[in-house]
Amino acid sequence: MALRLHTYWRSSASYRVRIALNLKGLEYEAIPRHLLRDGGEHKSADYLALNPQGLLPGLEDDGLFISQSLAICEYLDEKYPDPPLLPGDPAGRATVRAMALAVACDIHPLNNLSVLAYLREQMGQPPEAVNDWVRHWISRGFAALEQSIARHTVEATYCFGDRVSLADVCLVPQVYNARRFDTDLTRFPLIVKVCSCLEAQPAFAAARPEVQPDAE
């Protein structure tokens, strides 16, 4: 059975998994789930039967269903270890995981679609206040991540060391979000430089939201 990825073109968590799949050279069937149409296709009964959280992405692999983008990426890394997304030593793996989690757990959740909808609809915040919220939390997270990259990068080509890692897989989609919300990135030259190097690689370019079949 082919890999099947439940995805949405502009979901940054789905974007991460698309990058990981591409880096591994894996073919997969994309199952688009529009986050806004008809109240959100990720809330449909058939998808909730697979994933009670109703979140994207979700990966199906021969009867197995996996949710949460980092869990999916690590599953792919263990099942298809070449090229690896994590360093070979415990310290390196811990460092890369910490950088990836800084994005996936601390930055991204605060600018997720459901959070922004709550700010607008339940708390009555105007669009510019919501956008300021997004920029604040991205900038705060990037300030720390910039320092982490400075400690561990080689010539500002990757987040860690001299090869692509799970940290890079998380960084690029978050920079995409930052640009969507007009975040000032001039304070983060290393993040910008690393992201530029990564975006030029085929595996990252093919995962870009604008080139997905369900892109609007």
Per the structure, how many domains does the chain have?
2
- Based on the fold, state whether residues 95 and 198 are members of the same structural domain: yes
Tell me the backbone φ, ψ of residue 64, rounded to 5 degrees.
-95, 135
For residue 127, cis peptide bond before it (omega within 30 degrees of 0): no
Bridge partners of 61, per DSSP, are: 64
CA-to-CA distance for 180 and 131, rounded, in angstroms? 10
Range of the domain at 170: 90-203
- For residue 39, the model assigns a pLDDT of 82
Kindly state whether residue 46 falls inside one of the protein's structural domains.
yes
- Based on the fold, state whether residues 141 and 166 are members of the same structural domain: yes
| Three-state secondary-structure class, residue 66 | strand
- For residue 43, the model assigns a pLDDT of 87
- Based on the fold, state whether residues 58 and 117 are members of the same structural domain: no
Amino acid at 168: D
Kindly state whether residue 66 falls inside one of the protein's structural domains.
yes
CATH of residue 23's domain is 3.40.30.10
CA-to-CA distance for 212 and 216, rounded, in angstroms? 9
- For residue 1, the model assigns a pLDDT of 56
> pTM of the prediction?
0.96
Interval 10-53: pLDDT, tens: 999 999 999 999 999 999 999 999 988 888 888 899 999 999 99
- For residue 53, the model assigns a pLDDT of 93
Kindly state whether residue 103 falls inside one of the protein's structural domains.
yes
Q: Which of 22, 31, 32 is nearest to 4 (CA)?
A: 31
- Based on the fold, state whether residues 173 and 189 are members of the same structural domain: yes
- Based on the fold, state whether residues 106 and 162 are members of the same structural domain: yes
- Based on the fold, state whether residues 97 and 20 are members of the same structural domain: no
The DSSP 8-state label assigned to residue 15 in this structure reads H
Residue ranges in the chain whose pLDDT is less than 70: 1
- For residue 202, the model assigns a pLDDT of 98
Percent of the chain that is helix, strand, coil (3-state, to 5): 60, 10, 35
- For residue 2, the model assigns a pLDDT of 86
